[in-house]
Amino acid sequence: MTTPLRQRMIDEMTLRGMSPRTHESYLGAVLGLAKYYNRSPDQLSIEDVRNYLLHLERERHISWSTLNAAASGLRFLYFKTLKWEPAQMDIPPRKTPSRLPEVLSREEVDRLLSAVENLKHRTALMTTYAAGLRLSEVTHLRVGDIDSSRMAIRIEQGKGRKDRYTILSPNLRDQLRLYWKQYRSREYLFFGMHPDKPLNDTALQKAYTQAKEKAGIRKSGGLHTLRHCFATHLLEAGADVRTLQVLLGHTDLRTTARYLLIRREHIQAYASKFDLLMVPAKAPGI
């Protein structure tokens, strides 16, 4: 059941064009607060909110990123929905420790992709890596987004509600053609249980985790690691940071520039620097 306060918050987020993931995150933060006190959030005091955040940090030991998300959701509720003045509730922004992502080598990516037996999952993971996509971007790719004549993939309404194009490498194009022959997707390229619905994010995450384990890869990180690998390997192949920024869809060049810190010192020359896939196009059993 949606309470009037919850609906007000949803309306405020909708008017600001916030993504479904942000809706889920912010509403989850407010729900956690309400459950902790067993009271409506608009009946709580400033100290109640601060004590709840301290509880999350000191007793539940949640991660910095999760605590940041909770604080952001509560700020939105009180500042935007309930119209409190910021001075009424001082929740300082949390500064997340700067950590560089752990990336796989090209050989490790090769082993990981080779370990995936399911053709749909294998092709989706290859697409994630070879085009540098976020999880939600690859699962929501539509058939018409693949432009083989221009060797490009269109990403519609990615993070920040921005459209962009990224590269379609020859190896990925060939793999997508093999995939198409078997699945004949109608709307979503990688569909789920229903042909008109996208592949479930959790299913693809699980496929990545299982493949990593099967390939004997012990490095940390989930499926988003493949996007980090795309960025790092392209820089190692000689791509410039500005081009990489466009391909990744980053607003701030500084976000892209951090990959300069994790590339190998000696850049290797590849036969085709924009074709990162070492694994040839392959259908199951071949």
Q: Which residue has the higher pLDDT, 20 or 32?
A: 32
- Give the pLDDT confidence score for residue 166 in this predicted structure: 92
Q: Residues 110-121: pLDDT tens digits?
A: 999 999 999 999
Domain spans of the chain?
A: 4-88, 106-261
Secondary structure of residue 191 in the 3-state scheme: strand
- pTM for this one? 0.67
Q: Which residues pair with 147 in a beta bridge?
A: 152
Secondary structure of residue 103 in the 3-state scheme: coil
Active-site positions read 134, 159, 224, 227, 250, 259
Residue with tokens 């008017």: 15
- Give the pLDDT confidence score for residue 275 in this predicted structure: 66
- C-alpha closest to that of 133 among 67, 199, 60: 199
Q: Residues 212-245: pLDDT tens digits?
A: 999 999 998 999 999 999 999 988 888 888 888 9
Q: Which residue has the higher pLDDT, 264 or 103?
A: 103
Q: Phi and psi of 27, rounded to 5°?
A: -65, -35
- The superfamily (CATH) of domain 106-261 is Intergrase catalytic core (1.10.443.10)
Q: How sure is the predictor about 17, in pLDDT bands with cuts at 50, 70 and 90?
A: confident
How far is 221 from 224, CA to CA, in rounded Å? 7
Return the number of other C-beta atoms located less than 10 Å from residue 97's C-beta. 6
Q: Residues 119-174: pLDDT tens digits?
A: 999 999 999 999 999 999 999 999 999 999 999 999 987 565 678 999 999 999 99
Residue with tokens 């959790």: 202
**Second CATH level (architecture) for the domain 4-88:** Orthogonal Bundle (1.10)
